[in-house]
Chains A and B, each alone.
Chain A
Amino acid sequence: MKGSLIVLTVFVAGIVIGITGVVPASFIPTELTEWLLYALVIQIGISLGHSGNLIKILKTVSLRSLLLPLGTIIGTLLFTALAGLCIGGWSLTDYLALGSGMGYYSLSSVMIIDIKSSVIGVQSATQLGMLALLVNITREMTALVCGPWLARVFGRYAPTAAAGVTSMDVTLPMIVRCTGQEMFPIALMHGMVLEISVPLLVTLFAGLT
C-alpha cells in the first residue's frame, strides 16, 4: 500500500506542477518518458537475468496462460458495454471502442479520432478521442494504484488483467512486486497479446456505427 500511495502522490504532484507551470513543459524533453521506460526495462531485464530464476519461470508458462488475455478482453468489453448502456450519450459501439483501448491510451485515442472523424465529424471524434485518452490513462493509474489490493482480494492474476496492455511495461514492476517473479512472463505475454488486439478491436468497434 505504501508503494501505491507514493505512486499516487508523485502522480498528483506532477499534475499540479504541470498545471501551475512551475516547470514549463518545454523544460521536459518529449522523449524523456520514452528514455525512462527504456531505462526501466533495462533494469528489470538485468535483475531478472541476474536472479537466475528465468529458466524456472519460463517452465511455468503454458498455453493456459493465453486464457488470461482472452479473459481480460471479454471481461473489459462486457463491463464497458454495461457501463456505457447505463451512462448513455454515446453509442454502444463507441463505448466498446473506448474499452478496446485496454490501457493503450496513445494508440487508441489517435485511432478513434482518425476513424470516427469521417463518420461523426471532427468535433465529436476529437471528444471521443479525448475520452479514450482519459479512460485508458485512468485504467493504467487504477491498475498501478489498486494492483496490490486487487492481488490480495482477487488473486494473483488480477493486477495483470486490470493493467491491460500496460502489464508489459509501465505496470510490470508493480505486478512483479505484488504477485511474484513467476508472473513476469505471464504479464509480458498478456501485454503482448493485448497490444496486438487493441488496434484490431478499436478498428472494429470504431468502424461500426
Chain B
Amino acid sequence: MFILLLLVISVCIGMLLQRCRALRHLERSATWTVWLLIFVFGISLGSNEKIVNDFARFGLTALVISLAGVAGSVLAAWGIGAYINKSNQR
C-alpha cells in the first residue's frame, strides 16, 4: 500500500507543478528506469544458483503454465473488451 500512497503524492506534486515544462521529460526517464529495473532483476536471478539450476529443471513446465495463464486471461480480456465496445455503441 506504500506504493499507492507514493503514487497519490506524486500525482499531487505533478498537478501542483503543472507549469513546469521540464517535467515532460519524466516519461522518457521512466522508460529508462524500467530498463534498469529489469537489468537488476536479471542480475539478481542469474546470480542465484538455486534459481538458475531450477530453471533448467522446471523451465519448460513453468513456461507452459505461465503461457496458459496469459492465454486464458487475454482471451477473457478480449471478450470483455468486445462486450464493453458493444454496450458503448448502444
Report the bound CA distance from A124 to B24 in whole Å.
51
Closest partner residue, chain B, to A73 (CB atom) = B73
Main secondary structure of the interface of A (DSSP, over half): helix
Size of the chain A interface, CB-CB below 8 angstroms: 92
Report the bound CA distance from A36 to B6 in whole Å.
13
Query: A142 contacts the other chain (Cβ, under 8 Å)?
Result: yes
Report the bound CA distance from A127 to B64 in whole Å.
17
Report the bound CA distance from A141 to B45 in whole Å.
13
- Contact partner of B35 among A6, A18, A77, CB < 8 A? A6
**Interface contact A50-B61, CB-CB below 8 Å:** no
- Contact partner of B46 among A19, A47, A75, A154, CB < 8 A? A19
Report the bound CA distance from A173 to B16 in whole Å.
22
Size of the chain B interface, CB-CB below 8 angstroms: 70
**Interface contact A3-B14, CB-CB below 8 Å:** no
Q: How far is the CB of A157 from chain B (nearest CB, A)?
A: 4
Query: A16 contacts the other chain (Cβ, under 8 Å)?
Result: yes
Given contacts A79-B72, A142-B70, is CB(A154)–CB(B78) below 8 Å?
Answer: yes
Report the bound CA distance from A92 to B77 in whole Å.
24
Query: A7 contacts the other chain (Cβ, under 8 Å)?
Result: yes
Closest partner residue, chain A, to B31 (CB atom) = A173
**Interface contact A134-B59, CB-CB below 8 Å:** yes
Residues of B within 8 A of A20 (CB): 46
Query: A208 contacts the other chain (Cβ, under 8 Å)?
Result: no
Given contacts A33-B41, A54-B11, is CB(A155)–CB(B18) below 8 Å?
Answer: no
**Interface contact A143-B70, CB-CB below 8 Å:** yes
Instruction: List 17 A-B pairs, Cβ < 8 Å.
Output: A3-B31, A25-B43, A39-B33, A40-B34, A44-B7, A44-B10, A46-B23, A47-B26, A74-B72, A75-B71, A75-B72, A76-B69, A76-B73, A83-B65, A158-B77, A162-B74, A162-B77
Q: Besides the contacts A130-B54, A138-B67, what 18 more A-B pairs have beta carbons closer than 8 Å?
A: A14-B45, A17-B42, A44-B26, A47-B14, A48-B10, A50-B17, A50-B26, A71-B77, A79-B71, A80-B68, A87-B65, A127-B58, A130-B50, A131-B54, A131-B58, A135-B69, A138-B62, A164-B73
Using a CB–CB distance below 8 Å, which chain A residues touch chain B? 3, 6-7, 10-21, 23-25, 28, 32-33, 36-52, 54, 64, 67-68, 71-72, 74-80, 82-84, 87, 89, 95, 98-99, 102, 127, 130-131, 133-139, 142-144, 146, 150, 154-158, 160-162, 164, 168-170, 173-174, 177, 188, 192
Using a CB–CB distance below 8 Å, which chain B residues touch chain A? 3-4, 6-18, 20, 23-24, 26-27, 29-31, 33-48, 50-52, 54-55, 58-59, 61-84
